[in-house]
Amino acid sequence: MGVNADGRRELLGLKVGDSESEPFWREFLTSLKQRGLAGVRLVVSDAHVGLTKAVGRMFQGCSWQRCRVHFARNLLQTVPKAQQEMVAAALRSVFTQQSAATVEEQWDQVAAMLTGKFPRAAELMATAREDLLAFRYFPASHWRKLWSTNLLERVNEEIKRRTRVVGIFPNDAAITRLVGAVLLEQDEHWQLEGRRMFSLDSMAAIPPSADALPELDQPAPAMP
């Protein structure tokens, strides 16, 4: 799934594979580029090694945002169960900040707080800092929809609901037909709906390249 230059969502492609290896993802991303995908500024995904390596090779110069939901699960696995709610709350506090500068400051404070009691958690936060905070380089009005894969997960849930009825597919073509029909239906709904995910003004504020990142002092909109 992607967002085009007009700020509207589009479903970009579908491919069936039996693994999430780098060659699989490279082949899929290559097919998207061959069909005209260009100017990718940010990829949001989980941290699957095959996918991230393929993104780094196929979309050189674009930013990568690691999904905060997937990261939170990984982080909580490094602390005792009795302390997980506290650590989860501390992590969530990063994403309630109102500017890019305070996002960075809060992240560093949380990591420092964890260093004494939970060194593995602190180390994980240190290594993931830039990947988790990539959203801060983009318009503040986009943040909530960039820092996780939740929008894509909603589409995936509909796919799961429809495929559970079938159970076992005879071949890949059968999967493509059913899932492709679900995705086409979703894409047509988005196009007919006509709503923009992001405004034209905010899309115009996205830096054209990694060398033109904005200053880290833009305030975020008030959180509802």
pLDDT tens, position by position, 116-164:
999 999 999 999 999 999 999 999 999 999 999 998 999 999 999 999 9
Q: Is 53 in the same domain as 96?
A: no
- Name the residue range of residue 100's domain: 69-130
Same domain? 58 vs 164: yes
Q: Which of 216, 223, 224, 3 is nearest to 103 (CA)?
A: 216
Q: Show which of 130, 158, 176 is a domain's final residue.
A: 130
Between CA 161 and CA 185 the distance in angstroms is: 14
Could you tell me if 49 and 159 lie in one domain?
Answer: yes
Question: Is residue 180 within 8 Å of residue 14, measured between CB atoms?
Answer: yes
Of 164 and 216, more confident: 164
Please tell me whether residues 56 and 26 are part of one structural domain. Answer: yes
- 117 and 87 in one domain? yes
3-state secondary structure of 224: coil
Give the integer Cα–Cα distance in Å for 110 and 115: 9
Q: What percent of the chain has pLDDT over 90?
A: 83
> Residue 3 forms beta bridges with which residues?
9
Verdict on whether the full-model pTM lies above 0.95? no
Indicate the pLDDT class of residue 209, thresholds 50, 70 and 90.
low
Residues 48 and 156 in one domain: yes
Top-confidence residue, 218 or 101: 101
Q: How many distinct structural domains can be found in the chain?
A: 2
Cα distances (Å, whole numbers) of residue 179 to 44, 45, 78, 126, 183: 22, 20, 36, 38, 6
